[in-house]
Structure 1
Amino acid sequence: MDASLPSRRPAYRVPLSLTAALCAVTLAAGCSPAGAGAQAVDRQPARGAHSAQPAPLTQRSGNDLQSDYETVIRNVLPSVVQIESGNSLGSGVVYDGKGHIVTNAHVIGDRRSFTVTVANSEQPLRAELVSSFPEQDLAVIKLDSVPRGLRAATFGDTSKVAVGQIVLAMGSPLGLSSSVTQGIVSAVGRTVSEGGAGGGTGATIANMVQTSAAINPGNSGGALVNLDSQVIGIPTLAATDPELGNGTAPGIGFAIPVSMVRTVADQIIEHGRVVDSGRAALGITGRTVVGPDFQPAGVAVVTARKGGAAAAAGIAAGDIITQVGGVRVTTIASLSEVLAADRPGQRVKVTYTRGGATRTAEVTLGEM
């Protein structure tokens, strides 16, 4: 990918497993990409027993920086596990001392039992699904028995993640367990949509952390870590360039921010499921429609759920949504990306067409 050529739009893929097909995703329409510059805010405290944090870094020599890398790896790598889900292989992060492990929903797929390899156990361990939340591509599994010395990771603060920070990606790329790659935070606030084919969940995820650390198949569900030995994200997506035969574009990967990881994992552990997604929704099913030029031109409402946000505002099946909150909507993906930046209960203006006439409605957004 050549970022200097704006006409070239990269595709994105989910680094799913060694055997599953990779899933195409796209960046948000109309931005570089949508949501860039948005701030993520932690809403939940960290949970679980976590190791002490090293002192903040100051001006470092080359040898000191190498020592910092080695310290981070010693602190965090024992908390990163390998997950086998049928023929799929991915990674996970030990969330607490009770054996809960957080990973990507696309890593576990539709299975309920897994084989997990942890750093302090020679034998693979069994784990069971607690719950999956495909809408955010996150899931929690739990070890059947907790090995002695299991170490939970330390989870950082999304609001302190800044462009230029050195980060390490830890996981099992290509089946190479306990592997580490290095890079920087390239951007924050990215909104990315996964496709639903080839093993992806179809999720639209806001406020993702973009990194230059290599993200490869098998890294999904692992840890993106800062030099304070804190997990700041869960690596989930890697970019590909269609002009290079859909080969992986070096240095463009994405991780789910730790604030969302905590929000989802804490609810799953406490309630067995996500009870408050924090994600806005219109309460419709829809499909992309094309205009006279055969280009995507909006989202046709297939169904508007009774009592849902759209139906309550008078939007009905057959209407074509073209704008939400003043942002143009051309596809199902772009609609999801716009809503990803909003909150349930927020009032937005929705522009739609009915019988060739343009209409607007004030909609109080519901919850996904």
Structure 2
Amino acid sequence: MSTENEGTAVPPAPSAPPVPVETPAASAQNAAPEGGAPTAQIPSVPPGAPGAPEQTPAYAPMGAGTPDPYGHGPGTPGAPGHGAGTPGAVPAAEAGWPPPPPATPAYADGGGSGAGGWGSSYGQPAPKPKNGRGGLVAAILVAALVAGGVGGGIGYSLAKGNDNATGSTTVSAPSNSGDVKRASGTVAGVAARALPSTVTIEAESTNGEGGTGTGFVFDKQGHILTNNHVVADAVDGGKLTATFPDGKKYDAEVVGHAQGYDVAVIKLKNAPSDLQPLALGNSDKVAVGDSTIAIGAPFGLSNTVTTGIISAKNRPVASSDGSSSSKASYMSALQTDASINPGNSGGPLLDAQGSVIGINSAIQSTSGGGLGGSSQSGSIGLGFAIPINQAKNVAQQLIRTGKPVYPVIGASVSLEEGTSGAKITEQGASGSAAVTSGGPADKAGLKPGDVITKLDDQVIDSGPTLIGQIWTHKPGDTVKLTYTRDGKVRTTEVTLGQRDGDS
């Protein structure tokens, strides 16, 4: 699920909206070329994900031999894990980091290099059009708009003439009717305050590929918060720019990025002194049914505002572009029905007061195709955002050190479905121990075969759900784990360990 594309192939530049159909005569003489600007398809929801349609499992199956990269426990081949792994398990914290990407997730934004996961997918920006196709589409669109303006002018002249005719029943509005005062709590009021602090990000790799996403002002020093998959193409020597709604464009550089969290911080070069950071809310206090406002650049249409509600909380989401080289991202997401499409990734999800409660990151997709296809799915009312409390902690860490820090339990858990919890594997990645000797899980008395069913009060139904919940905490936090062993329910407290960096 995702709002932007990222992944193996950088998504194409956002395509322009369809052009109005011409008159029959014109259409007959000039048939439009087949296809529009290329767009990347968003992967579908991985199998088995909670709440995912039966035909689209929440998590994508992992290939055999893939260890869990997150250090929450070794993983068995075929599933990413947090420790060393046997098939289908998550590798221990010491194991190689990223776990295998979900089967068919897609990113929510239009830029970046990863696609979604579990009921969400990273939205990538459509790859830049080649041979001028994108420009052609834009030109046709402009022509259509100009024609529409001409028609409107003629219509106005005719209407004005009719107003003076005898028997006219039209009524003119007062000349000051346009001076509407909008309360600060209205959607229009919130949008007016937030838009000036939201930017459209364009990332381009050294080979010219790239995409479009969104970000927002994090502090007065010029730091912009966004998704990792939005800026991934510009990490290694690429080009990065941020454009404000007033048209001012700035070059930027990546300060730090976290693949696992799908969070990144960039900094404007020669940042203006009048930056206004968006106020950060408290995502822990959000309730299902609360109003939401999303701002972004869906399909390249910058400064787009959509509304909805919080549909669910703590939704386990694993997203990736599905490529063999990509690393999966895990989150315990806020679910919203606000319209989110490729290009929205990295943009703010606001509450009714205009405070940021999340970063739009992924969408559930019904598309069965992979990235780089000829079509791209749009919003179906299932969008997912990274809770701002978690994103803020990650961003502050990236600004301080440039590298992310992940909390771990030091045990490999299986990513297979049907385990009714997160099962600690019998063996870790590459034959290592499933439970790291002297690690958090070992000290808490956990053993291979134990099935973790709760973390504090949160139900754990799979390995990916456990990973997402652990990552909402910080290294050093103590959590209570409920697990079953030999048919008996037990509890234990675990003080989370730490893993630095994405690899």
TM-score in terms of structure 1 length? 0.70
The match for 1:81 among 188, 194, 199 is 199
Alpha-carbon distance, 1:23 to partner = 2.1
In 1, Cα distance between equivalents of 2:303 and 2:318 = 28
More strand by share: 1
* C-alpha contact 1:120 1:149 (8 A) present in aligned 2: no
Q: Corresponding residue for 1:100?
A: 223
- Which stretch of structure 1 is more off in the superposition, 235-244 or 134-143? 235-244
Post-superposition CA distance 1:53-76 (Å, at most 9, x none)? xxxxxxxxx995799222222211
Write the letter of the residue equivalent to 1:70. A
- Secondary structure of 1:241's match? coil
- Which stretch of structure 1 is more off in the superposition, 4-13 or 217-226? 4-13
Post-superposition CA distance 1:47-105 (Å, at most 9, x none)? xxxxxxxxxxxxxxx99579922222221111111122221321111111110011111
* C-alpha contact 2:413 2:424 (8 A) present in aligned 1: no
In 2, Cα distance between equivalents of 1:4 and 1:272 = 35
Q: Corresponding residue for 1:24?
A: 117
The match for 1:323 among 452, 460, 464 is 452
Change in CA separation of 1:97 and 1:249 when aligned onto 2, cut-off 3 Å: closer
Alpha-carbon distance, 1:260 to partner = 1.6
The match for 2:298 among 152, 173, 193 is 173
Q: Corresponding residue for 1:310?
A: 441
**1:240 matched to 2:365:** yes
The match for 2:478 among 328, 345, 364 is 345
Post-superposition CA distance 1:163-185 (Å, at most 9, x none)? 33332211111111111112122
TM-score in terms of structure 2 length? 0.53
**1:218 matched to 2:351:** no
- Which stretch of structure 1 is more off in the superposition, 100-109 or 337-346? 337-346
Alpha-carbon distance, 1:307 to partner = 3.0
Kindly, what percent of the aligned residue pairs are identical? 29
Name the Cα RMSD after superposition. Answer: 4.2
Post-superposition CA distance 1:344-365 (Å, at most 9, x none)? 3334355568xxx999895624
Change in CA separation of 1:313 and 1:266 when aligned onto 2, cut-off 3 Å: closer
**1:91 matched to 2:91:** no
The match for 1:252 among 382, 386, 401 is 382
Change in CA separation of 1:285 and 1:180 when aligned onto 2, cut-off 3 Å: same
Change in CA separation of 1:330 and 1:195 when aligned onto 2, cut-off 3 Å: farther
After TM superposition, list the pairs within 5 Å mapping 1:35-54 onto structure 2. Answer: none
Post-superposition CA distance 1:245-280 (Å, at most 9, x none)? 9945611111112212222222333444445x5x4x
Q: Corresponding residue for 2:256?
A: 131
Q: Corresponding residue for 1:203?
A: 329
Write the letter of the residue equivalent to 2:270. S
**Which structure is richer in relative contact order (CA contacts within 8 A, separation 6 or more)?**
2
In 1, Cα distance between equivalents of 2:291 and 2:377 = 25
Post-superposition CA distance 1:297-326 (Å, at most 9, x none)? 87443134443223445667xx44533549
* C-alpha contact 2:111 2:231 (8 A) present in aligned 1: no
In 1, Cα distance between equivalents of 2:341 and 2:391 = 20
Post-superposition CA distance 1:123-170 (Å, at most 9, x none)? 532211211122322111111210353332122222442333332211
* C-alpha contact 1:10 1:241 (8 A) present in aligned 2: no
- Which stretch of structure 1 is more off in the superposition, 119-128 or 358-367? 358-367
- Secondary structure of 1:301's match? coil
- Secondary structure of 1:77's match? helix
Change in CA separation of 1:114 and 1:83 when aligned onto 2, cut-off 3 Å: farther
Change in CA separation of 1:82 and 1:93 when aligned onto 2, cut-off 3 Å: same
Q: Gapped runs of 5+ residues in structure 1?
A: 28-61
In 2, Cα distance between equivalents of 1:65 and 1:109 = 39
**1:266 matched to 2:396:** yes
Q: How many residues matched?
A: 321
In 1, Cα distance between equivalents of 2:271 and 2:308 = 33
**1:333 matched to 2:464:** yes
Bigger Cα Rg: 2
Write the letter of the residue equivalent to 1:186. S
Q: Corresponding residue for 2:186?
A: 68
In 1, Cα distance between equivalents of 2:368 and 2:239 = 37
Alpha-carbon distance, 1:9 to partner = 5.0
Change in CA separation of 1:360 and 1:139 when aligned onto 2, cut-off 3 Å: same
In 2, Cα distance between equivalents of 1:121 and 1:236 = 25
In 2, Cα distance between equivalents of 1:94 and 1:337 = 26
Q: Gapped runs of 5+ residues in structure 2?
A: 1-44, 59-104, 121-179, 205-209, 371-375, 499-503
- Secondary structure of 2:364's match? strand
